[in-house]
Amino acid sequence: MAVREDILRIFPEAMRNRWKQAAEQGERLQEIRLRAGRPVLLYMEGREYFLTVNGGLTEREGQAVRADRAELEELLSYVCSSSMYAYEEEISRGYLTLPGGHRMGLVGEAVLTDGGKVRNLKYVSGMNIRISHEIKGAADSLLPWVYEDARPLNVLILSPPGCGKTTLLRDLVRQISDGNCFSPGRTVGVVDERSEIAGSFHGMAQNDVGMRTDVLDGCPKAEGMMLLLRSMAPEVIAVDELGGEEELRSVRQALKCGCAVLATMHAGNIREAQERLFGTGASVFSRYVLLSGRGRAGEGRPERRECAGAGGRFESEDCCDREGRSERNGQGRSVSVLDGDGNPLWREVC
């Protein structure tokens, strides 16, 4: 019900009737894509649908309603409370954070500063409304593998886009912060550069990230990690989508300060991640979590859970190899845990 109401509140009153049926699917809805002059698209559980003129959902393009620029401009003005100037800084980053932790990505004609940086967008031609889904318990099965002697380990969550990395990271942060049967609660610092972990709106986290968690919203990851280390003395730092050398230097500095690091990265296997982040392949992470298959982490009923046997191999074929490549070819999802050397430890297949 909360997600349904959040979705409807994104749109001006005059538009809401058309979005009521889509909002009813809020728990399944992942993205709404609006492009001027193009069919309105919605994505649910990895499948694509068109919005009809009556607000229904169809897979037939011929029945799709098309967005026009005037509607996009009206929607943007509404989201910005008719004060585009007040949101100029957010718009310059290409997105707006919405109440409920959802996010609206924006494209159009860039307005540049004298230094060549984006100052604003005009003539907005496309929007991507990403619906945030908080799944408490998504990290339950991972908890035994992310601690050693009750201390959090350094964990890197890997997957292609759309497999639920951020959902999993968010629940891991919450459970480490609040405490669980494997360890008492820890002070966690979150650098939420794109407002996707805590989903902060006007500085307040919209998602439950735990009672001992401090959120630094909208700050670049490398700078934010250093700021948290200086000011908040976290025991654990969490960031989404590592990617640059500067960020890696901040990760290493956090480790020197005795702080554990939780992070995600777009990558298909451990070797790819190590080569991109560490050059030589030397790892600073003690655990890798590899997600495969479309869908949100923590959803679906597990078909089986397995621990690796002798030689670091699973008995069946649906697993990860030594480089962390997924060998699963079906439509289901799997979660695999590997150690810092890439040896399989555990997996869950849904």
Residues of the chain with CATH 3.30.450.90: 2-130
Q: Does the domain formed by 140-349 have CATH 1.10.1060.10?
A: no
Q: Could you give the CA distance from residue 132 to residue 288 in angstroms, rounded to a whole number? A: 24
Mean pLDDT by 10 residues, the chain (350 residues): 89 96 94 98 94 96 96 96 87 90 94 90 95 93 96 95 90 98 98 93 92 96 97 97 88 94 91 73 82 63 56 48 48 83 88
- Residue 271's pLDDT is what? 82
CATH of domain 2-130: 3.30.450.90
- Residue 100's pLDDT is what? 86
Query: How many CB atoms are located within 10 Å of the residue 20 CB?
Result: 12
- Residue 316's pLDDT is what? 45
Please answer whether residues 255 and 278 qualify as being in contact, where contact means their C-beta atoms are separated by less than 8 angstroms: no
Q: Which of 68, 97, 56, 66 is nearest to 80 (CA)?
A: 97
Q: What is the reported pTM?
A: 0.82
Residues of the chain with CATH 3.40.50.300: 140-349
Q: Could you give the CA distance from residue 154 to residue 273 in angstroms, rounded to a whole number? A: 15
- Which residue type is seen at 55? G
What is the token pair recorded at 218? 């909208």
- Residue 269's pLDDT is what? 84
DSSP string, 155-200: EEEEESTTS-HHHHHHHHHHHHHH-BTTB----EEEEETTS-SS--
- Residue 45's pLDDT is what? 85
Burial of 289 (0-12, 13-18, 19+ CB in 10 A): buried
- Residue 318's pLDDT is what? 45
- Residue 270's pLDDT is what? 83
